Amino acid sequence: MTTRDLPELSPTERSNTASEGLESRTTLEILEIMNREDARVASAVAERLPAIRDAVDAIVDRVGRGGRLIYLGAGTSGRMAMMEAAEAPPTFGVAADIVIGVIAGGTSAVGSAREGAEDDAEGGAAEVERLEVGRDDVLAGVSASGRTPFVLAAVAEAQARGALTIGVCCDDQAPLAAATDIPICPLVGAEILAGSTRLKAGTAQKLVLNMLTTVAMIRLGRVHGNLMVDVRPTNAKLRERARRIVAEITGAADADVSRALTQADWSARAAILMLSRGLTADEARTVLHEVEKADV
């Protein structure tokens, strides 16, 4: 009997008949198999768009009233959680405590695998306690198999505290799908290397997390059209991007754009107000502050 014949196995652990005998294949043949399997991921995510929509709307509601979005996982899923959270402040200008990433085993597990940490159920619950998760928060548990004890315990503790929970996994029959308010379960099937969920499952999770953060921030007013007006220009590339954004929206000359950005401490949004309304930097900051207070 092969692993593919065992129905109790999670889909992410089963053997993929399309990739049998990999060691006897040519390099190109292996790449073609991998590429065909990867092509299944986007359509699997597309089938879950209604659930992703519901999750985005819930995030917008809770973050809009002062809550937080917490991504939590172990192993590859935890690294996805950490990466997604880390990109939110520089991309959307939100504070670092609005979108939070948690990985089993702590931040050292990002660069060095700590496989045993995923079995630490008490650790998952403790992380939720540490963050003082409450009714306005959203906790998204990320687990390829949907069976990770660290994640399941964190979800249970978050629900007990009144938080809304989202489950991102690749098995709609998994405990995580049943345990969360909004399960998002793209069914990507078995990996070309049985159980290596950094492959299709990891790609699916990244696509889903990208959607949750990006669309929620769009709905929360953190962009202008398709431009990142709240980008934090902390390096030369990002400062050039800020210049392009301000110039595209205002139509101002390069010299005026650079002058406004410098006076506005490189806030693209403030520079846009200065150039479009003839405001000083202080006046633009006051307007933005009033808008932020009105949105809370």
DSSP state, residue 227: B
Q: Which single residue is written with the structure tokens 């980008």?
A: 231
Q: What is the number of helices (H) and of strands (E) in the chain?
A: 11, 5
| Tokens found for residue 255 | 């010299």
Number of other CB atoms surrounding residue 20 within 10 Å: 13
Nearest of 206, 163, 167 to residue 184 by alpha carbon: 167
Q: CB–CB of 123/150 below 8 Å?
A: yes
Report DSSP letters for 105-136, one per residue.
T-GGGTTS--GGGGG-HHHHHHHHHHTT--TT
Check residue 139 and give left, alpha or beta (phi > 0: left; psi -120 to 50: alpha): beta
Active site residue 87: yes
Active site residue 118: yes
Q: Which single residue is written with the structure tokens 């889903």?
A: 208
Catalytic residue among 13, 118, 157, 191: 118
Distance CA 272, CA 251 (A): 10
Round to the nearest angstrom and report the end-to-end CA distance of the chain.
Answer: 59
At residue 226's C-alpha, the angle toward residues 289 and 217, to 5°, is 50
Distance CA 52, CA 67 (A): 19
For residue 71, the surrounding DSSP H or E stretch is strand 69-73
Active site residues: 87, 118
